[in-house]
Amino acid sequence: MYPIRRRNKVSRKVVLGASAVVLAGGAFAVGTGLSSAGENCVGLDQALRQNLQFIAGQRAAPDAQSSARIANRQAVVDLINQRRQVAGCDADVAAEVPVAAPTVAPTTKAPAKPATPPAAGAGEVVCKGSTVTLSGEAGAPFASSGTFPLGTVLKVTNLDNNKSITVKVETTSGSCVLLNNAAFEQVREPGKFLIRRAVITRVG
């Protein structure tokens, strides 16, 4: 009797050991992805989608490191696609990710140059709205201007007293028209050093 019971115990240990090896082998196959039943298409599709979106974003707004990032993510995408093929995943994930167009720096347009106003002809009212004051220069009546070239003949009329004078531009200034002391004295109102209501006409 004793030898028979011992043989039964040995047989049970062998059977249990073999069963453990089979279970361990199945767990290893699932954990390493060698078995298609161990892959989850939903998870793989989501991972693929996220990586494709990352690549699209890098292409849309590239920087100095974008090429390296895209290459790394593309390697991940290739690996995921291999696992999806083994698992039998057939969703077209790539079609769900919009292709982002690369950003193009806006073209800087040069500001348009203001059109050069045509030169005023003889008898034309110019520098409308301008006031006239004196330049402080002595000598015979003349004018100075930053608008008209030397030699231009201008007529300045003071509408407050209807006095006018015709003078030639002989010096330059930063104003449309300034009158020297002698010219300003002929059209000024007593005690005033500014003609607010002036009409300036180009005579020649």
Q: Using alpha carbons, select from 95, 16, 5 the residue that is nearest to residue 52.
A: 95
Write down the pLDDT at residue 117: 45
Write down the pLDDT at residue 63: 87
Write down the pLDDT at residue 116: 45
Write down the pLDDT at residue 149: 92
Whether residue 144 contacts residue 137, with contact meaning beta carbons closer than 8 Å, is answered with yes
Report the C-alpha gap between 68 and 86 in whole angstroms.
28
Q: Give pTM, 2 decimals.
A: 0.41
Concatenating the DSSP letter of every residue in 134-183 gives E----SSS-EEESSS-TT-EEEEEETTTTEEEEEEEEEE-SSS-EE-HHH
**Residue 164 corresponds to which tokens in the numbers above?**
């006018």
Q: Give the residue ranges of the chain where pLDDT is below 70.
A: 1-39, 95, 98-122
Write down the pLDDT at residue 64: 87
